[in-house]
Each structure stands twice: as structure tokens, then as C-alpha cells.
Structure 1
């Protein structure tokens, strides 16, 4: 697995949490608007990550597992703490 794949997974996860937080806590958005903003945010962030050739390096399975586990725990904590 490459570092770029890990970063893309983190982008996907935290984009959903960020947009859900804005939708619930700050401004109640229409579902279509929410989805369009989410897609634009994810696409833009992934295109930005593509510009870094240093992220093409491989990652060990242990490091990938650790990062993925921390991302999942962070998502659950964000949903429970912010009551999303």
C-alpha cells in the first residue's frame, strides 16, 4: 500500500465528518447541496494530494493497519462527541 492511499482514506473519512458537523451543528443544508459539497471537497483534496510525488512510497502493513485503526477510532469519537 502506498502513502497516497492512506492519505486518500483519511481525506474520505474526515471530509464526511466535517460536512456532517457543518450540517448538524452550524447550518442545516439540503441533502443535494451537502452531497455536492462533499464530492467537491473530496475531489479537490485528492487532486491536491496527487501533486506530491513523495507520497508514492510504500507503507508497511503494520503502519497501514495502525493508521486505519486510528482513523476509524477518530471517526467514532467525532460522531459520539459531537452527536452527529
Structure 2
């Protein structure tokens, strides 16, 4: 697995949490608007990640597993703490 794949996974998780937080706590958005903003945010962030050649290096399975586990725990904790 490449570092880029891990970063893309983190982008997906953080984008969903951020948009959900904005939708619930700041401004109640329409579902279509929410999905469009989420898609644009994810697409833009992934396009930026593509520009970094250092993210093409491979990552060990243990590091990959650890990062993925931390991302999942982060999602659960944020949804639990902020009651999203």
C-alpha cells in the first residue's frame, strides 16, 4: 500500500466528519447541497495529494493497519463526543 492511499482514507474520514459537524451544529443544509460540498471537498483534497511525489512510497502492513485503526477510532470518538 502506498502512503497516498492512507492519506486518501484520512481525507475521506475527515471530510465526512467535517461536513456532518457543519450540517448538525452550524447550518442545516439540504441533502443534495451536503453531498455536492462533500464530493467537491474530497475531490479537491485528493487532487492536491496527487501533487506530492513523496506519497508514492510504500508503507508497511503494520503501519497501514495502525493508521486505519486510528482513523476508525477517530471517527467513532468524534461522532460520540459531538453527538453527530
Shorter chain as denominator, the TM-score bin is over 0.9
RMSD of aligned residue pairs (Cα, Å): 0.2
Cα distance between partner residues in 2 of 1:61 and 1:35 = 32
Question: What is aligned with 1:45?
Answer: 45
Per the normalisation by structure 2, the TM-score is: 0.99
Q: For residues 55-75 of structure 1, what are the alpha-carbon distances to aligned partners after superposition, in whole Å with 9 as ceiling and x for unaligned? A: 000000000000000000000
Paired positions, count? 84
Structure 1's unaligned 5+ residue stretches are none
Q: For residues 32-69 of structure 1, what are the alpha-carbon distances to aligned partners after superposition, in whole Å with 9 as ceiling and x for unaligned? A: 00000000000000000000000000000000000000
Stretches of 4+ aligned residues off by more than 2 angstroms: none
Structure 2's unaligned 5+ residue stretches are none
Question: What is aligned with 2:68?
Answer: 68
